[in-house]
């Protein structure tokens, strides 16, 4: 969704959507086609014999949420998507096939979320996140983090435990958050990103990123910057 919602225009969105469908395993088999004017065609299949209606609706909502973030007001399968607002009722027939997505006009463009969004946490952890975000590659220790947060190490561990996260997981989330922006920027090699953000090696960085994003950093970069390689057809 981060890659889709950071698309520059519908043509870029179509290219990214189609590449993601090829690169990321999914039970949905889709292909987008842009008519160059006011509509998209979604060629939608499924790997199972009897997809549930809820599954079809979920795929449609993900697609329209991404398009809606471009500042488009659109309708698909009886649902009107206007920014964060969804109006109407879905059509009863949500089976795979060719769906037409009509672009109705422009609305306010939504903000692009981060790959690893800052969690909704107590203020002390929000402050700590911001501090780590300024220096994501620094070899932070629990003691240094606790001092930054104004807590003892044990107290910080208890606060994190209450949120279901450990100190190593917290550091990794901050670093992957930073990595997603550096990869989208495109000015740094992946090995440089890994080194700058404190990962022990490129393989360690790639494994962590794949776990968080569902794809390797190289695929993430290809989707973001491979527009010339993947045309909307």
CB 72 within 8 A of CB 110: no
**Whole-number pLDDT of residue 120:** 58
Residue 17 lies in a domain: yes
**Dihedral class, residue 212 (left if φ above 0, else alpha if ψ from -120 to 50, else beta):** alpha
157: CATH:
1.10.10.60
**Whole-number pLDDT of residue 118:** 47
Domain match, 39 and 68 both: yes
Domain match, 141 and 179 both: yes
**Whole-number pLDDT of residue 229:** 44
Give kind and range of the element (H or E) at residue 103: strand 97-106
Residue 147 lies in a domain: yes
Q: What is the pLDDT of residues 50-64, one digit of tens each?
A: 555 555 666 666 677
Q: Which of 45, 52, 41, 3 is closest to 23 using CA atoms? A: 3
Residue 232 lies in a domain: no
**Whole-number pLDDT of residue 146:** 94
Q: What is the pLDDT of residues 212-230, one digit of tens each?
A: 887 889 888 888 876 434 3
Look up the domain containing 35 and give its range. 2-110
CB 223 within 8 A of CB 7: no
Q: Which residue has the tokens 């009509």?
A: 102
CB 217 within 8 A of CB 190: yes
- Give, as one character, the DSSP assignment of residue 74: E
Q: What are the residue ranges in the chain where pLDDT is below 50? A: 110-118, 227-233
What is the distance between the alpha carbons of residues 121 and 138, in angstroms, rounded to a whole number?
A: 22
- Helices 167-185 and 217-225: crossing angle in degrees, nearest 10, is 30
Number of domains in the chain: 2
**Whole-number pLDDT of residue 61:** 65
Residue 229 lies in a domain: no
Domain match, 93 and 148 both: no
Domain match, 8 and 53 both: yes
What is the distance between the alpha carbons of residues 63 and 1, in angstroms, rounded to a whole number?
A: 9
Residue 233 lies in a domain: no
Residue 70 lies in a domain: yes
Domain match, 13 and 104 both: yes
């Amino acid at each position: 969704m981060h890659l889709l919602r950071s698309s520059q225009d519908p043509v870029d969105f179509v290219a990214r959507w189609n590449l993601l469908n090829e690169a990321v395993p999914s039970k949905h088999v889709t292909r987008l086609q842009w008519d160059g004017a006011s509509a998209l065609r979604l060629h939608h299949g499924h790997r199972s014999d009897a997809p549930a209606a809820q599954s079809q609706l979920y795929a449609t909502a993900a697609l329209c949420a991404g398009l809606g973030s471009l500042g488009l007001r659109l309708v698909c399968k009886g649902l009107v998507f206007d920014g964060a607002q969804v109006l109407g009722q879905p059509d009863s027939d949500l089976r795979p096939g060719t769906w037409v997505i009509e672009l109705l006009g422009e609305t306010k463009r939504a903000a692009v979320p981060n790959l690893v969004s800052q969690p909704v946490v107590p203020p002390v952890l929000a402050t700590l996140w911001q501090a780590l975000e300024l220096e994501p590659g620094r070899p932070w220790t629990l003691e240094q983090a606790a001092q930054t947060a104004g807590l003892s190490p044990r107290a910080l561990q208890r606060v994190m435990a209450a949120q279901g996260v450990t100190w190593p997981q917290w550091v990794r989330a901050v670093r992957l958050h930073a990595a997603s922006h550096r990869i989208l920027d495109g000015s740094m090699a992946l090995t440089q990103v890994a080194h700058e953000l404190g990962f022990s090696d490129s393989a360690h960085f790639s494994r962590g990123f794949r776990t968080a994003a569902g794809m390797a950093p190289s695929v993430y970069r290809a989707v973001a910057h491979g527009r010339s390689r993947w045309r909307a057809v």
